[in-house]
Structure 1
Amino acid sequence: MEPPSPPDAPDKTAPDDPSSTPESPRQHHTSQDLEVSSYLEATLEGEPQPEAPPVHPQTVIVLDFGSQFSMLIARRIREAGVYSELVPYDAPWDDVRKLNPAGFILSGGPASVYDDDAPQLPTYVFESGLPILGICYGMQLLAYQLGGKVEPSNEREYGHAVIHHASDSPLFGGLSASLPVWMSHGARITEVPPGFQPFAHSDSSPIAAMANDSGYIGIQFHPEVVHTRDGAAILKNFLLKVCGCTGDWSAGNCITDSVARIRDQVGEGRVICALSGGVDSAVTAALVHKAVGDQLVCIFVDNGLLRKDEPERGVDTFHRHLKMHLVHTDSEDVFIDALADVTDPERKR
């Protein structure tokens, strides 16, 4: 879909008051192709929002073992009011430690624990003494590395299933004894590790969940997908009842925390930010400007390859509406001349 025609470039001699122009630029940008300027101007002109509380130093780490649902796990955690970071399964402890972990969730994955190159659980996960929730491959890996037995299943379990539990496990607190869940696995645990007890089963998985007294829990199903009816409640039980998280995080905390960290890092210094007109640089500029104000100088280079009137809109948004110190240079001829006779798209890029 073609975006609507943008407004004419603003009169450079016009006063900064938006009401001095015939129409607000935002009125021209209502389409499926939402412009960065629309987001930023709407934020600026909207009702003031209360400051979010500081970020709580609780992060639940999702170790990614290659599941297609790994990002979804992190999202579900944040929806439960707990901050989460998705990191590779082999991330070094020094990087993870800085995130103030309150617990670990091990994602599913396509590998078998018996593969020669199967991803392994880092030893620091156990040494940390923090709660662990293994999902699907994560459960099998937990069992395998702690001395249990994992075997290929004669019947792959994929799709809807019903698990039955009869325990006082906090994971299923407040839920019915039989739960519809989503399974996707070709192996199963036939013997739990020393110190663990099975506490749920399905028709095809005699051990669909296991736990020990150290806060290590494994579940064979996927609580992060909508097909598991009570998946959100199961994850929230782990976060609040097992990890001890408070559940008071929100997305607004990210802005407050980012602004505070920027102020701390910049101090009395000055900052230069390159603006492309895209979302990444626009959000960066908005955050830095919110943190340090006139200590920020933005540089916007018109390379002649932007959409019609996009440079004018960028100048209008960042300089006139957001009051940023903006250096704008028209370098269209330089870029167009350099691209003359270049046909290879990678060279152009």
Structure 2
Amino acid sequence: MHQKILILDFGSQYTQLIARRIRETNVYCEVHPCDASRRFIEEFAPIGIILSGGPASVAEDETPRAPQIIFELGIPTLGICYGMQTMAAQLGGSVENAKTREFGYAEVATKVQSSLLRDIHDRTDEKGEGILDVWMSHGDTVNVLPPKFQVMLGNAATPIAGMADEERKFYGIQFHPEVTHTLQGKAILERFVHEICGAGYDWNMPDYMEESIGRIRSEVGRDEVILGLSGGVDSSVAAALIHRAIGKQLTCVFVDNGLLRLGEAQQVMDTFSRNLGVKVIHIDAGKAFLDQLQGVADPETKRRIIGREFIEIFQREAAKIANARWLAQGTIYPDVIESAGGKTKKAQTIKSHHNVGGLPDTLHLKLLEPLRELFKDEVRELGLALGLPHDMVFRHPFPGPGLGVRILGEVRHEYAELLRRADAIFTEELRISGWYEKTSQAFAVFLPVKSVGVMGDGRTYDYVVALRAVHTEDFMTAHWAELPYTLLAKISNRIVNEVRGINRVVYDISGKPPATIEWE
């Protein structure tokens, strides 16, 4: 049994980042709703609890509160942002609407040497106080401390930016340690889980692999499993993990939906069927998908159509496998978060994912999602532990709907062909220049607009593609990659010259937020 940290979610878009940071410290944690029952919390038996941020205001009535039992268990508790505020209110302090809101970068000064922040700072000021560079996002503030608490941190805008009750090991911080903008955030969370909660270092991918293999064998028994293999990192790692667990009981269904990258179908078949010995059924369904997408421009509708078509194909294939009882998918945490499909059901839906939300009753299959609780970096670690090739494991993510969400508006065969070739040139040049490994995700987007150009002495009126490349650690926030101008010029020149039908290339310099990584 792993030592466990319980994260209670009050609806923040960044709650899962807390979980990711905790797991980076080799400690197991889970995220559950802030209104989890007393019985659940007692049975979960955490060695520490973290209360997340959230969009509500503690200063208002009928907003979420932490279960009272967490303050009675005698275990360390850390409140972050809203979590700190509800802790303060529930333990006898008070919260008010702040006179000065803080969103973004801020500096806070250490007021007492607490166990949580001892010797953790970015620099010291002339008074000898430790200064932390942090990321704030709050409109309310704690204005009266609960009994037994001391001010741990503060600044002019937020005098109580941190509070501590050392005797009960209760701590609250107004800023967000889980985001990379808080430079000492990882150190703070490490201090909390290892020194204050007393957690060991028993969460790692090799052990998780063995545990997961055991769970899959126990769950599946002698049943057959079918898996939708896309060739992307997630489905590839899921296939390798399940194959390691049950061998020939796994059948992978690789659907060529007509929206794959250049040469991808052949690459997938070569890797899995020929090299890894996995049973793979290859279905060429490009025409069926493109027919269903004809005239459809709305991105959510496109995603639903593509997801529905996948299910129908799996249903037909499952019927051919006599003992098929499970459909396996490479669903991971970020898919669940963005679809508001997590356990809390509190986050706002950003975009739906075709592999999130359960299965129709008509499919008559149970769902097997061995990666559902893992972040992308953990999936890559698991892939390496399973012995998958490095190039496959560190391949850039590719969305389940494929080029269907990288073609803005209606999806047409001619658009897909143009985009495939432009995207292949972009990827090739990134690899040659060494920038592929330096970026987390990079791809081309087809824009269904034409612009005037000139080639030689002639006028052209052709389509536009946008290039997108980002740096990210967690795929929940991202910065655009500052590719060299000379590289962008070379890529643009090749695309315009080699892909007849495209005469203009633009580069996307939007971060996430406010944009998403994919355009649709």
Provide, for residues 198-235 of structure 1, a one-character-per-residue CA deviation record: whole Å limited to 9, x for no partner: 34433343333223322221122332334444332221
Percent identity between matched residues is 45
Contact conserved, 2:142 with 2:160, CA < 8 A, in 1?
Answer: yes
Contact conserved, 1:140 with 1:150, CA < 8 A, in 2?
Answer: yes
Contact conserved, 2:28 with 2:203, CA < 8 A, in 1?
Answer: yes
Provide, for residues 268-299 of structure 1, a one-character-per-residue CA deviation record: whole Å limited to 9, x for no partner: 44333233444443322111001122232223
Q: Which residue of 1 aligns with 2:270?
A: 316
Q: Which residue of 2 aligns with 1:103?
A: 48
Closer/same/farther in 2, CA of residues 268 and 69 from structure 1, 3 Å limit: closer
Contact conserved, 2:58 with 2:85, CA < 8 A, in 1?
Answer: yes
CA distance in 1: counterparts of 2:57 and 2:292, whole angstroms = 52
CA distance in 2: counterparts of 1:268 and 1:341, whole angstroms = 38
Letter in 1 for 2:130: S
Q: Does 1:178 pair with 2:123?
A: no
Q: Which residue of 1 aligns with 2:30?
A: 85
Q: Which residue of 1 aligns with 2:188?
A: 234
Contact conserved, 2:108 with 2:153, CA < 8 A, in 1?
Answer: no
Higher relative contact order (CA 8 A, sep 6+): 1
Q: 1:108 deviation in Å?
A: 2.2
CA distance in 2: counterparts of 1:296 and 1:136, whole angstroms = 45
Matches within 5 A, 1:179-258: 179-182=131-134, 183-212=136-165, 213-258=167-212
CA distance in 1: counterparts of 2:255 and 2:185, whole angstroms = 48
CA distance in 2: counterparts of 1:225 and 1:180, whole angstroms = 14
Matches within 5 A, 1:154-173: 154-158=99-103, 159-167=105-113, 169-173=114-118
Q: Work out which of the residue numbers 148, 160, 169 in structure 1 matches 2:93.
A: 148
CA distance in 2: counterparts of 1:330 and 1:294, whole angstroms = 23
Q: 1:322 deviation in Å?
A: 0.9
- Report the secondary structure of 1:143's partner residue: helix
Contact conserved, 2:2 with 2:202, CA < 8 A, in 1?
Answer: no
User: Would you say how many aligned residue pairs link Structure 1 and Structure 2?
Assistant: 291
Q: 1:315 deviation in Å?
A: 2.0
Q: 1:191 deviation in Å?
A: 2.1
Q: 1:246 deviation in Å?
A: 0.9
Provide, for residues 277-330 of structure 1, a one-character-per-residue CA deviation record: whole Å limited to 9, x for no partner: 444433221110011222322233445554454333222221111101223344
Q: Which residue of 2 aligns with 1:61?
A: 6
Letter in 2 for 1:296: L
Structure 2 unaligned blocks of 5 or more? 122-128, 307-520
CA distance in 2: counterparts of 1:118 and 1:106, whole angstroms = 14
Provide, for residues 46-72 of structure 1, a one-character-per-residue CA deviation record: whole Å limited to 9, x for no partner: xxxxxxxxxx61232333334343333
Q: Does 1:267 pair with 2:224?
A: no
Q: 1:103 deviation in Å?
A: 1.7
Closer/same/farther in 2, CA of residues 315 and 81 from structure 1, 3 Å limit: same
Contact conserved, 2:112 with 2:151, CA < 8 A, in 1?
Answer: no
Q: Which residue of 2 aligns with 1:29?
A: none
After TM superposition, the score normalised by the length of structure 1 is: 0.71
Q: Alpha carbon RMSD of aligned pairs, Å?
A: 3.1
Closer/same/farther in 2, CA of residues 128 and 299 from structure 1, 3 Å limit: farther
CA distance in 1: counterparts of 2:218 and 2:79, whole angstroms = 37
Contact conserved, 1:166 with 1:199, CA < 8 A, in 2?
Answer: yes
Closer/same/farther in 2, CA of residues 319 and 73 from structure 1, 3 Å limit: same
After TM superposition, the score normalised by the length of structure 2 is: 0.49
Contact conserved, 1:274 with 1:299, CA < 8 A, in 2?
Answer: yes
- Report the secondary structure of 2:133's partner residue: strand
Structure 1 unaligned blocks of 5 or more? 1-55
Contact conserved, 2:255 with 2:283, CA < 8 A, in 1?
Answer: yes
Q: Work out which of the residue numbers 291, 312, 335 in structure 1 matches 2:245.
A: 291
Letter in 2 for 1:189: V
Provide, for residues 122-170 of structure 1, a one-character-per-residue CA deviation record: whole Å limited to 9, x for no partner: 3443355432100122111101122211122323345322322224x32
Closer/same/farther in 2, CA of residues 245 and 280 from structure 1, 3 Å limit: same
- Report the secondary structure of 1:257's partner residue: helix
Q: 1:239 deviation in Å?
A: 0.6
CA distance in 1: counterparts of 2:40 and 2:224, whole angstroms = 28
Provide, for residues 234-285 of structure 1, a one-character-per-residue CA deviation record: whole Å limited to 9, x for no partner: 2111111221111342344433332221122233443332334444433221
Q: Does 1:339 pair with 2:284?
A: no
CA distance in 1: counterparts of 2:228 and 2:87, whole angstroms = 46
- Report the secondary structure of 1:321's partner residue: helix
Contact conserved, 1:300 with 1:326, CA < 8 A, in 2?
Answer: yes
Closer/same/farther in 2, CA of residues 341 and 122 from structure 1, 3 Å limit: closer
- Report the secondary structure of 2:226's partner residue: strand
CA distance in 1: counterparts of 2:176 and 2:227, whole angstroms = 42
CA distance in 1: counterparts of 2:206 and 2:80, whole angstroms = 29
